């Protein structure tokens, strides 16, 4: 049995778990996908993104701003800058009334070097409460530290689909090929398929290609869409390593991707067009433009 979490850490993890994307999240085409997927919300760029390490101290007053969005941005940026004087003030934010601030605080503390919180959140992946496990996976995914991949893989051995989706997302953020066997097996078994496809795309290994090509025929719209998008990303990664292998991937994948250009789902059509465009397929740019120009389907 996992040891008991501190009250502050558990609150932060429960809060972060509420926002885990259940359908998978678009990869690097957020602006296009958000235009056709009202369920996806792309967060704005951090307002303090231009802050340098030398100016990090100027962010400290902002973590107490009345606007929770400002507090969250300031905490997140202090974490990215690894500003050690912020450790104590950010620990206080684990009890912030806003869940996004609490989540950013947990991740920032780990980035800066909190020697207590990091192992505690890793340990939370073994917690009996699925909500705590989801929150831990989200926090560790935002951290994107490959050291936790073995822990995430263990947490992925679950029958809970929401836990599986969160852990798959986190494994994708870590971009470690060591997770491939578990992700491809889950995809073949129909488990957390959309998030698994997204994760395989982020990892970008050619070993994922057969599983992703098979997923192009799955029933779920999100799964087909992210499988198509992932194949485009695998191709881009392959080009950087071996142009001949990348061309072979195109030959194996193009027919199935072209078939998706007439898919009933606009999201699938767009992701297929993006993948074909990245592969240099003729007319794919027009297909992408057509998908974006369509009127969104009315809500069911």
162 vs 117, residue with greater confidence = 162
pLDDT per residue as tens digits for the range 90-113: 999 988 999 889 888 888 988 888
Domain 213-300 is in which class? mainly alpha
Say which residue the tokens 């999240």 belong to: 25
Q: What pLDDT, on the 0 to 100 scale, is given for residue 223? A: 95
How distant, in Å, are the alpha carbons of 37, 38, 268, 294, 295 from that of 298? 12, 11, 17, 12, 9
Separation CA 225–CA 272 (nearest Å): 7
Q: So where are the chain's domains?
A: 213-300
Q: Provide the residue count of the chain.
A: 300
pLDDT per residue as tens digits for the range 32-86: 444 444 333 345 688 999 999 999 999 999 999 999 999 999 999 999 999 999 9
224 vs 2, residue with greater confidence = 224
Q: What pLDDT, on the 0 to 100 scale, is given for residue 37? A: 43
% the chain with pLDDT above 90: 52
Dihedral (Cα; 13, 15, 17, 20), 10-degree rounding: -140
Q: What pLDDT, on the 0 to 100 scale, is given for residue 41? A: 37
Residue 114 in this model has a pLDDT that exceeds 90 = no
Residue 143 in this model has a pLDDT that exceeds 60 = yes
For the chain, what is the mean pLDDT?
A: 83
Residue 12 in this model has a pLDDT that exceeds 70 = no
SS3 sequence of 151-195: HHHHHCCCCCHHHHHHHHHHHHHHCCHHHHHHHHHHHHCCCCHHH
- Name the pLDDT band for 181 (thresholds 50, 70, 90): very high
Residue 277 in this model has a pLDDT that exceeds 50 = yes
- Whether 102 contacts 11, CB under 8 Å: yes
Of the candidate ranges 64-73, 129-138, 193-202, 251-260, the one whose mean pLDDT is the lowest:
129-138
DSSP character string of the chain: -PPPPPHHHHHHHHHHHTT--SS----S-HHHHHHH-TT--PPPPPTTTT--GGGGGGGGGGGG-SSHHHHHHHHHHHHHTT-GGGHHHHHHGGG-SSHHHHHHHHHHHHHHT-TTHHHHHHHGGG-SSHHHHHHHHHHHHHHT-GGGHHHHHHHTS-S-HHHHHHHHHHHHHHT-GGGHHHHHHHHHTTSSHHHHHHHHHHH--GGGHHHHHHHTT-S-HHHHHHHHHHHHHHHHHHHHH-HHHHHHHHHHHHHHHHHGGG-S-HHHHHHHHHHHHHTT-TTHHHHHHHHHHSPPPPP-
CA angle 212/216/221 to nearest 5° reads: 120
Of the candidate ranges 4-8, 60-64, 183-187, 228-232, the one whose mean pLDDT is the lowest:
4-8
Residue 17 in this model has a pLDDT that exceeds 80 = no
- Name the pLDDT band for 194 (thresholds 50, 70, 90): very high
pLDDT per residue as tens digits for the range 203-261: 999 999 999 999 999 999 999 999 999 999 999 889 888 888 888 988 999 999 999 99
């Amino acid at each position: 049995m996992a040891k008991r979490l501190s009250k502050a850490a558990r609150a932060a993890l429960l809060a972060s778990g509420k926002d885990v994307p259940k359908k998978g999240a678009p990869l690097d085409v957020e602006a296009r996908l958000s235009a056709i997927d009202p369920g996806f919300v792309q967060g704005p760029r951090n307002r303090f993104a231009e802050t340098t390490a030398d100016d990090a101290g100027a962010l400290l007053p902002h973590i107490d701003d009345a606007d929770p969005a400002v507090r969250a941005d300031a905490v997140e940026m202090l974490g990215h800058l690894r500003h050690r004087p912020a450790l104590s003030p950010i620990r206080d934010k684990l009890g912030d009334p806003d869940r996004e601030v609490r989540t950013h605080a947990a991740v920032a503390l780990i980035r800066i070097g909190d020697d207590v919180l990091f192992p505690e959140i890793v340990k939370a992946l073994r917690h009996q409460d699925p909500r705590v496990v989801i929150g831990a996976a989200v926090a560790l995914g935002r951290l994107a530290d490959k050291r936790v991949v073995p822990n995430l893989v263990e947490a992925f051995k679950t029958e809970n689909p929401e836990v599986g989706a969160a852990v798959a997302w986190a494994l994708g953020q870590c971009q470690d090929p060591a997770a491939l066997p578990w992700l491809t097996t889950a995809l073949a078994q129909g488990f957390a398929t959309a998030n698994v496809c997204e994760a395989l795309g982020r990892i970008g290994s050619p070993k994922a290609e057969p599983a992703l090509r098979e997923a192009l025929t799955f029933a779920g719209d999100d799964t087909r869409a992210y499988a198509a998008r992932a194949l485009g990303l695998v191709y881009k990664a392959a080009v950087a390593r071996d142009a001949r292998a990348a061309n072979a991937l195109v030959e194996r994948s193009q027919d199935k991707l072209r078939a998706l250009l007439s898919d009933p789902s606009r999201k699938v059509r767009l992701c297929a067009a993006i993948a074909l465009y990245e592969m240099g397929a003729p007319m794919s740019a027009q297909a992408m433009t057509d998908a974006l120009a369509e009127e969104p389907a009315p809500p069911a």
